[in-house]
Structure 1
Amino acid sequence: MVVFSKHQKRRAVGLLLLGGGAIVVGGRLLQLQIRAYQKEQNALCEMYLTNAASKQPISRKPKVAVNARFAGRLGEILQICVPSVFSKEALFILVQSCLLVNRTLLTDRISVLEGISAEAVITKDWAMFMVNLVSFAWTAAPAALVNSGLKYMQMIISLSFQQRLTENLHKLYLSNKVYYVASTLQGLSNADQRITEDVEKFSSAISELFSYTFKPVLDIILFTRSLSKTIGYKGQFLLYSYFLLTSSLLRSISPPLALMTAQEAALSGNFRNAHQRIVSHAEEIAFNDPPGGDTEQMILNNYLNRYVCHSRLSAFQKFVQQVADGYLIKYAASIVGICVYAAPIYYSRQRADTKALTGDYIRSMRLLMNTSTAIGQLILVYKRVTSLAGFTSRVSELLESVRQLSTKEGRTQRASPLQKMLEGIDSNKAINYDPPCLIFSDSIEFKHVTLYSPDGSLLVRDLSFQVPRGGSVIIMGPNGSGKSSLFRVLAELWPLQSGTIARPPHGEIFYLSQNPYIVQGTLRDQVRYPSPPLAVSAAASGKWWSSSANVTSLKGMKHPDDVAVIEALQATEIDYLVERGDGLDQLQNWEETLSGGEKQRIAVARVLYHNPRYAVLDECTSAVSADGEENLYRRLQKSDITLLSIAHRPALKKYHSAILYLDGSQGGSGWRYEKLAADTTNPQ
C-alpha cells in the first residue's frame, strides 16, 4: 500500500479545498454574469426585436420553453414525420436502434479485449497477446461499420423528416391561396425561412436527439451490469449521485436556450427578408436620384447589427455554459470515477494480484469513462431539448397558421379584428350590413356588397350588379376607388365583409393582373401556366410526353397541345418569340428578356389557351399600345369569353355590354351602373 508523507497529504488537501472553492466561486460568478447579460439581452430585444406581423414588441416573458405545450407540438409534428409504423421513417428508426444496440455491445466487447491485452503485456504472454490482437482487429471492423452507419442513418432520418414535413407544409401553404392570405392578413412572417431553414434545423435536431438519448440509456444499463463485477453497485451509486448534483447545478445556471434559439432564428429571418426586399425592388431603389443605396445600406446594417448583437450575447452565454459543462461533466466526473475505483483498492489490506488488477483497471476505466460520457450526454440532453423547443415552436406556429388560413373558418377568425373595427366605424349610423356570403353560380353577381380596405377605409357601399354569361362589364373610375379591391374580394384574396357574391366555380374563371406572373420554364410553359411545367409534371409522373405527335410542321412542337399554344401566341401577336429562340422549348430569363407589353400579351395568351367561361382583367393590357389593346380585346370577344374588366381607355367600352363607374362620391363610396348601347357591343 502506498504511504503519503505529511507534506503530500497537506498539499492534496490544500488543492482539494482550493478546487472546491474555485468551483463554488466560479459557479456563483457564472450565475451573476449570465443574469447580467440576460438582462442586457432582454433590454435589447425589447428595443428592436419586433413581431413582423403586429409591429408590437415581443414580450420579455419567455414564450418558448420545455413544457406540456412543447410536448404536444412535438408529438403533432412527429406524426407528420412518421405517419405510421410501416412507413420508411419507422424502418429507418428501427435500423438506427439496432445499430445503437450493436455499438454498445461492441464497446463492451472492446473494453474486455483491452483488459485482456493489458494482462497479456504484464505477464509477457505474447501468444495470448497476439490472439487477442487478432480478435480486437476482427471486432474493430464491425465497430467501424456501425459507427459510420449511425452517422449515415442519422442523416437519412433527418432528410426523410425534412422531406415529409416540407411536403406537408407545401401542400397547406400553396393551397387555397394561403400564401397570399398569410401576407395580406399579417398572420405569418418570414414563411420562406421557416419552411427552408427552420424545418431543416428541426429535422437535424430531432434526429440527433434520438441518438443522444437512446444510446446513453442503453450504455448506462449494460455498462452498469459489467462494472458491478469489479466495483460493485455501491461505488456506481456514488458516481450517479455526483451526476445528479451536477445536473441540478447546471440547470440552475443554464441560460434560456429555447428562447435564444427562437429569437436568433427570428432575427436571421428579418435580415434575410431585408435583403430580399432589395432584390424585389432593385429598380425602384436605383431610379432615385441620388440612388437609395446608402439608405438601404444603413437599413441592412441595422438588421445585421441586431442579429450580430444577439448572436454575440448568445455565444458568450453558451461559452460560459460549455466551460461549466466541460469541467463538471467531463473532467470532474473522471476524477470521481477514478476515486470510486481506487478507493476500495487503496484501503484494502489484502494484496491484489498485479495481473488481475491491471486487467480489471483497464476494463473498469474504459467502462467508467463510457458510463460517465453516457450520463454526461443525458445531463446535457436538456440543452438539445431546449434548442429543439425553439425550432419546434417556429415550425409549429407555421403549421398552425397555414392550417388555419387554409379553411374558411380560419380566414374568418383572422379577419375578425377587422370586422370589429368596421362595426365601430359606423356604430353611430343607421346602416344595416348584410352578412357576408360567397356562393357558386353560373354568373358573377354582387348583391348589397360593402367593401372596406384592410386599414378600415370605406371603398364601396351597397354595391349590386350582375355579369351574365355573354354580357361583359367594364369597371372605370379614379385610382383608390376600390376597383382592384373588388376583384380581390371576388377571388377570395380579401375577406368579404358584407353582402353576397356569386361567382362561377374554380376552373371556369381566369384572373389577370396588371403585373403578370412569369413562371420559370420554357416558352410553352409560359402559355400553359397555371398548368405545371412539362418538365416538372414529367418528373413527378416518371413519364415524358410523346414526341410522335403529328404536329411537327412548326418549329419546336413536341407536345400534343403545341398547336393550341402556337395559336394563342399568334392571336396575341407574339408568335415571333417562337422563331427568336429554340422554339417552344427555349429557356430564357423571361423576366429580363420580355418587355412589359410582351408579358401582358403572354398573360392574355394564357386566357385564350385555357378558354375559360369568364375572364377578370385588372388593367392587364395597360402596357400595350392602343391598337394592340383593341386587337387583344377583339380576340377575347371572338373566343366567347365573358369579360369583367378594369380599364381607363374609353375605346374599350365597345367590347362590353355595361359599365360600372366607381366615382368616389357620397363620402368615397359612390358607384353607378349603366347599360351600353347595343351597337357598341359588336364592333366590326
Structure 2
Amino acid sequence: MNPVIPLMLVGTLFGFAVGQTYISKYTGIILANVYQSFTTGDKKLFYESVFKGLGVIGVSALFDSSIQFIVALMGWNWRKTLCFYIQNVYFKKSLFYKIIAFNDNIDNPDQRITSDIDKFTTLLASIVSNCITGPMVVIYYTYLCYTTIEWYAPLIVYAYFFLGYFVNKLVISPMVSINYLQDKLEGDFRYLHQRVRNFSESIALFNYSKNKSNKPKRKTSDASTTLRKSDSVDFSEESADESTVINRKNRTPFTKTGNTKSSISEEKRKKLEEEFLVEERQAKIQFESLLANKKRVIFWNFGLTTTSDLFTYLSPLVNYFIIAMPVFFLHTKSALLPAEVTVQSYNCIMLASGFSQYINVSTNISDLAGFISRISSMIEVCSKVLNDDSYETETSSLNEKDGSNDSLNQEIHVNTTNRSIRLNQGENIILDDITYFTPKGNQLFSNITVCIEKGKNLLIMGPSGSGKSSLIRVINGLWPFFKGRINRPESDKIFFLPQQPYLIFGELEEQILYPLSKKDKRIPKKQLRELFARLDIDYLLDRENFIKKSAQINDLTHNWLNSLSPGEQQLISIIRLLYHSPQFALLDEATSSIPQSLEEKVYQIAKELNITIISVGHRVSLLKHHDNLLRFDKYKNWFFEEIDHNQ
C-alpha cells in the first residue's frame, strides 16, 4: 500500500481536529453573550448571539462529520491493507490447509480474517481519532483555563482525570483475556451452525429415521388394552411429535389421548424431545458456554462503564468547585459576573471532555487488545508454518545424469535419510522406499517400493483408516510426513479427485474449468454438452439454462453443492478430470456414489484419453478396471501384485 494515503488521512484528520477545537472556543463566548443579554435585557445582543451561534454550530457540525468520515476511511484503508496481507500469506503454498491439518494453535482462521480484522481496524481508527483530537482539546483548553481562571484550574482537572485513568486501568486488565475468550467462543458457535447448514440434509434424514423408529406400536391383540376410538392416538407423521414422547431411560412410551391428560408435564415432554437432536444439544452446550462468558463480559463492562461514567458525571461538580475557589476559598474575588462564570465553566468542561475521551476509549482498548492478540497470533502462526521446512517437500527436476526415462529396468536406489519429490518427464510414478506418517508422527506403512507404469491403473485397497488416502496425499505432495524419494511427473500432469467433490460458486462451465477460470479459458457450449452427455447428466445444463431464463432468486448456478445429489457432484468432478485429461489421476473413492454402470464408463473413457488412474476404493468391482493392486492389511503390511483378469 502507498504510505502517502494513510499519512494524508492522518494529516487531514489533524487539520479538522485543530479547526474543531478552535471553533469550539466561540461556542463558550456566544453562550456568555446570550446569558448577558438575559441579565441586561439587550434584545439586539440576543439576536446577534443566536445568529452567530447558528454559524458556529454549522461549522462545528461540518468539522465533526468530516472527522467521522476520515475515521471511517482510515478503518477501511487499514482493513484493506491488513486483510490483503494476511490473505496473501494464507493462500501461499497451501498454508490454509497446513494450519488447519497440521497445526492446532489457531481456531477459526476464517473469523480472524473476516470479522476480527474488521472490528480491529474500526476500533483502531476510532482510538487514533480520539488520540489526535483529545490532545488538541487538552492543550488548547489548558491554556484557556490558565488565562481565564488561575494556574490551579488545569492542575485540578489533570489530577482528577489521572485518578480516573488508574481506576479504569485496574478494571481493564482482566477484560483482555475475557474478551479474547469471547471472540473464540463466538467463532466456535458460528462454525457449529455453519456445519448444520452444510450438512442440513444428512442431519434431517438421520433424525427423521430416528424419530420414525421411536414411534410406539399400537397394541391390538389384547382387547383390554385396545383404545376406544375417542381416545385413540393419531399415529400420522404430522402428529407424531405431539402425541408421543419416549422415555430414553426405559424406552417407555408416554401417550397423550383425546380425553386423558399427559402423564408428564408439557415442559418435561419438550425437554425429552429436545434431547433427540444431537446437533441441537451441541449448539445449546456451546451457546451456554458463550452466554456464561458473555455474562462475565457484561459484569466487567458494568464495572468499567460505572467508573468511566462516574468520573464523567462528576466533572461538572469539579468544574463548579474550581470556579468557586476564588470566591469561597481563596477570597481573591467577592463575586463573579454571569458571563464570566459561563466562559470559565465552558473552558473547564471542554478541558474535562478532552480527558474524558481517553477514559471512554479505555473500553475500546480492552476489546482492541483481544483482537490484537487473535490477529497477531494468526500472523505469527502463519509465518511460522510458512517458514517451517518440516512442512515442505523438496521438489526437483531430474537431469540427464539421473535418468529421465524411468523405465521398468531402471534401478531403484533406497534413500531413507531424506524425503524428496523428483519430477520426471511424466512416464511413470516411482515410490522409492517410502515410509510415511500421520501429522502427529505415528508411522503408517514403511519401505514401500513400487513403480506405477504409465497406462497401467493401480488400485489401492485396505481397511478403513489404514492409510490409503494418506499415501495419495504423499504422492500428490500435500503431505511432507514421509521418508524416501518419490519420482513422478510434473504437478500439472497429475489430477486429484477426493470422495467429497469440491464445487465452487459459479456456473457449470466454471465447475469444469476449475482450477482455471473463465478468464483463462472458455469451453464451447457444444463441447460442454458433449462432456455432460457422455455421463448422462446433460439435463443439468438444461436446468441451469432454465434458472438463468427464469431469473430465480435462489440461483442454483451459485449453490450447486446444496442442489445436487452426491452422485451428481462426483460426476461433475469426473467431467472436470476428463476435460483436463492429465497423464495421471488420483481417485480417492471418487466414484463411490455413482452406479457401477457409470463407473465402468468412467474408466473406459479415461482409458481412451490415456489417463492412468490410481484409485483408492473398497468395491470389488473396481478390480476389473485396474492392472495392479497395492493391498494394505491391519498389521501394517503391504503387498503389490498384478491383477489377473482371466480368473
Task: Indicate the TM-score class for this superposition, using the shorter chain for normalisation.
Answer: 0.7 to 0.9
The structural deviation recorded for 1:487 is: 0.9
Aligned to 2:495: 510
Correspondence 1:566 to 2:562: no
Q: What is the one-letter code of the residue matched to 1:662?
A: R
Query: Closer, same or farther in 2 for the Cα pair 1:363/1:506, shift >3 Å?
Result: farther
| SS state at 2:504 partner | coil
Aligned to 1:389: 369
| SS state at 1:386 partner | helix
> Matched residues in 2 for 1:106 and 1:599: separation?
66
Correspondence 1:330 to 2:312: yes
> Matched residues in 2 for 1:96 and 1:343: separation?
37
Q: What is the one-letter code of the residue matched to 1:404?
A: K
Aligned to 1:524: 509
Query: Closer, same or farther in 2 for the Cα pair 1:316/1:255, shift >3 Å?
Result: farther
> Matched residues in 2 for 1:350 and 1:481: separation?
94
> Matched residues in 1 for 2:201 and 2:88: separation?
33
| SS state at 2:210 partner | coil
Aligned to 1:614: 584
> Matched residues in 1 for 2:531 and 2:386: separation?
34
Correspondence 1:465 to 2:450: yes
The structural deviation recorded for 1:454 is: 4.1
Q: What is the one-letter code of the residue matched to 1:194?
A: R
Query: Closer, same or farther in 2 for the Cα pair 1:124/1:174, shift >3 Å?
Result: same
Are the equivalent residues in 2 in contact too, given 1:482–1:662 (CA < 8 A)?
no
> Matched residues in 2 for 1:195 and 1:614: separation?
36
> Matched residues in 2 for 1:117 and 1:395: separation?
52
Q: What is the one-letter code of the residue matched to 2:484?
A: G
> Matched residues in 2 for 1:197 and 1:613: separation?
42
The structural deviation recorded for 1:433 is: 4.5
Are the equivalent residues in 1 in contact too, given 2:457–2:625 (CA < 8 A)?
yes
> Matched residues in 1 for 2:143 and 2:476: separation?
68
Q: What is the one-letter code of the residue matched to 2:31?
A: E
Aligned to 1:451: 436
**Cα offsets for 1:407-430 (capped at 9, x unmatched):** 4527369xxxxxxxxxxxxxxxxx
The structural deviation recorded for 1:638 is: 1.7
Q: What is the one-letter code of the residue matched to 2:111?
A: Q
Alignment of 1:216-615 (within 5 A): 216-254=134-172, 256-286=174-204, 287=206, 290=210, 293-327=276-310, 329-346=311-328, 347-348=330-331, 357-407=337-387, 409=389, 411=391, 433-443=416-426, 444-454=429-439, 457-532=442-517, 534=518, 561-582=524-545, 587-588=555-556, 589-615=559-585
Q: Which of 582, 595, 601 is residue 625 of structure 1 equivalent to?
A: 595
The structural deviation recorded for 1:184 is: 1.9
**Cα offsets for 1:303-328 (capped at 9, x unmatched):** 1121111111221222123222222x
Q: Which of 33, 45, 68 is residue 151 of structure 1 equivalent to?
A: 68
| SS state at 2:491 partner | coil
> Matched residues in 2 for 1:571 and 1:653: separation?
23
**Cα offsets for 1:469-503 (capped at 9, x unmatched):** 44443323343332211112223433323222233
Aligned to 1:549: none
Q: Which of 28, 40, 47 is residue 123 of structure 1 equivalent to?
A: 40
| SS state at 2:92 partner | coil
The structural deviation recorded for 1:604 is: 1.1
> Matched residues in 2 for 1:389 and 1:400: separation?
16
The structural deviation recorded for 1:457 is: 4.7
Are the equivalent residues in 1 in contact too, given 2:168–2:362 (CA < 8 A)?
no
Correspondence 1:672 to 2:639: yes
| SS state at 2:594 partner | coil
Aligned to 1:180: 97
> Matched residues in 2 for 1:648 and 1:307: separation?
42
> Matched residues in 1 for 2:143 and 2:448: separation?
82
Q: Which of 610, 632, 638 is residue 663 of structure 1 equivalent to?
A: 632
Query: Closer, same or farther in 2 for the Cα pair 1:364/1:454, shift >3 Å?
Result: same
Query: Closer, same or farther in 2 for the Cα pair 1:124/1:464, shift >3 Å?
Result: same
Are the equivalent residues in 2 in contact too, given 1:106–1:143 (CA < 8 A)?
yes
Aligned to 1:22: none
| SS state at 2:506 partner | coil
**Cα offsets for 1:306-355 (capped at 9, x unmatched):** 1111111221222123222222x223332222211221134445556x6x
Q: What is the one-letter code of the residue matched to 1:436?
A: R
The structural deviation recorded for 1:612 is: 2.4
Query: Closer, same or farther in 2 for the Cα pair 1:255/1:453, shift >3 Å?
Result: closer
Identity of aligned residues (%): 25
Stretch deviating more after TM superposition (385-394 or 287-296): 287-296
Are the equivalent residues in 2 in contact too, given 1:446–1:466 (CA < 8 A)?
yes
Structure 1 unpaired stretches of 5+: 1-82, 414-430, 539-544, 546-558
Structure 2 unpaired stretches of 5+: 212-274, 394-413, 550-554
The structural deviation recorded for 1:456 is: 5.1
Are the equivalent residues in 2 in contact too, given 1:451–1:461 (CA < 8 A)?
yes
**Cα offsets for 1:239-273 (capped at 9, x unmatched):** 21222233333434555121111011112222223
> Matched residues in 1 for 2:97 and 2:29: separation?
63
Query: Closer, same or farther in 2 for the Cα pair 1:572/1:332, shift >3 Å?
Result: same
Query: Closer, same or farther in 2 for the Cα pair 1:652/1:242, shift >3 Å?
Result: closer
Query: Closer, same or farther in 2 for the Cα pair 1:454/1:410, shift >3 Å?
Result: closer
Aligned to 1:48: none
Alignment of 1:628-667 (within 5 A): 628-649=598-619, 652-653=622-623, 655-656=625-626, 658-664=627-633
The structural deviation recorded for 1:278 is: 2.9
Query: Closer, same or farther in 2 for the Cα pair 1:508/1:229, shift >3 Å?
Result: same
Q: CA RMSD for the aligned pairs?
A: 3.0
The structural deviation recorded for 1:450 is: 1.0
Are the equivalent residues in 1 in contact too, given 2:421–2:486 (CA < 8 A)?
yes
The structural deviation recorded for 1:671 is: 1.9
**Cα offsets for 1:78-123 (capped at 9, x unmatched):** xxxxx44223x44333333322222212212322222233334433
> Matched residues in 2 for 1:646 and 1:233: separation?
85
| SS state at 1:621 partner | coil
| SS state at 2:492 partner | coil
Query: Closer, same or farther in 2 for the Cα pair 1:441/1:365, shift >3 Å?
Result: farther
Stretch deviating more after TM superposition (574-583 or 602-611): 574-583
Alignment of 1:101-116 (within 5 A): 101-116=18-33
> Matched residues in 2 for 1:192 and 1:250: separation?
33
Are the equivalent residues in 2 in contact too, given 1:572–1:604 (CA < 8 A)?
no
> Matched residues in 2 for 1:642 and 1:215: separation?
68
Query: Closer, same or farther in 2 for the Cα pair 1:254/1:386, shift >3 Å?
Result: closer
> Matched residues in 2 for 1:585 and 1:509: separation?
34
The structural deviation recorded for 1:401 is: 2.3
**Cα offsets for 1:420-476 (capped at 9, x unmatched):** xxxxxxxxxxx9943322333334322111123345554311011233444443323
> Matched residues in 1 for 2:105 and 2:154: separation?
54
Are the equivalent residues in 2 in contact too, given 1:514–1:620 (CA < 8 A)?
yes
Query: Closer, same or farther in 2 for the Cα pair 1:576/1:306, shift >3 Å?
Result: closer
Are the equivalent residues in 1 in contact too, given 2:171–2:300 (CA < 8 A)?
no
Aligned to 1:29: none
> Matched residues in 1 for 2:277 and 2:612: separation?
49
